[in-house]
């Protein structure tokens, strides 16, 4: 496998770490800017792009050999920054398409889809990434890479992948002029099955949300 797709930290420690950190930092800055709401007309396409680029970094971490931290116990990175305001801003901006239907593990048969929120997903991903960034900025490079790789497998990789599918589906519904099922009012804390989702889902035409979310239908 080429160095472009699989690096060894023993051969290219600085290059790999810097590239991963740059991609993660770019995502953190971009999503924070989107959540400010200054340019709501471009929110969804921009999030689609940023999540796609983040998953490239995740793929590189996933393809990498196991990264082993230098210390036996993880150094305390301090208190986690609050992401509630960012989560709430994203939820407000993405209404009424924030809630989507997701299957957690495609290799577990007969698992019913459950409601999820794009705003919750992005906030959770940012929490994981910021945790590793604290180590990186403190000079604990291997610790940061270990955390990003571990949390990619355990949480933010699958969460970002689900978010990407939701954003891509949203864009596709609009561009293809297909009706979009609305999931407003569903409680994401409940384990709702596919039948209940179908019963409670309203019908919303894509063009009704295209303008506010920065999407345009193909004539």
- Residue 20 C-beta-side C-alpha neighbours within 13 Å: 33
Which residues does 117 contact at the CB level (< 8 Å), separation at least 6? Answer: 91, 98, 99, 100, 188
pLDDT at 177 over 90: no
Confidence of residue 193 (pLDDT cuts 50, 70, 90): very low
Note the pLDDT tens digit of each residue in 26-83.
999 999 999 998 887 788 889 999 999 999 999 999 999 999 887 777 777 666 778 9
Alpha helices in 64-140 (DSSP H): 84-94, 118-137
Mean pLDDT of 172-181: 71
Mean pLDDT of 80-97: 89
């Amino acid at each position: 496998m080429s160095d472009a797709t699989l690096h060894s930290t023993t051969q290219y420690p600085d290059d790999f770490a810097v590239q991963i950190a740059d991609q993660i930092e770019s995502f953190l800055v971009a999503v924070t800017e989107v959540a400010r709401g200054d340019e709501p007309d471009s929110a969804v396409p921009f999030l689609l792009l940023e999540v796609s680029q983040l998953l490239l970094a995740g793929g590189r971490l996933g393809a990498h050999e196991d990264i082993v931290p230098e210390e036996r116990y993880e150094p305390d990175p301090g208190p986690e920054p609050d992401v509630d305001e960012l989560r709430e801003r994203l939820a407000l901006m993405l209404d009424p398409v924030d809630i989507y239907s997701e299957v957690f593990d495609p290799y577990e048969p007969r698992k019913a889809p459950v409601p999820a929120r794009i705003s919750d997903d992005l906030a959770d991903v940012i929490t994981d990434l910021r945790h590793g960034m604290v180590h990186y900025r403190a000079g604990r490079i291997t610790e940061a890479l270990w955390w990003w790789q571990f949390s990619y497998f355990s949480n933010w990789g699958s969460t970002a992948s689900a978010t990407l599918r939701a954003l891509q589906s949203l864009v596709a519904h609009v561009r293809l002029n297909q009706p979009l099922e609305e999931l407003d009012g569903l409680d994401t804390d409940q384990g709702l099955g596919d039948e209940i989702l179908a019963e409670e889902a309203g019908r919303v035409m894509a063009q009704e949300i295209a303008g506010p979310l920065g999407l345009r239908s193909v004539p």
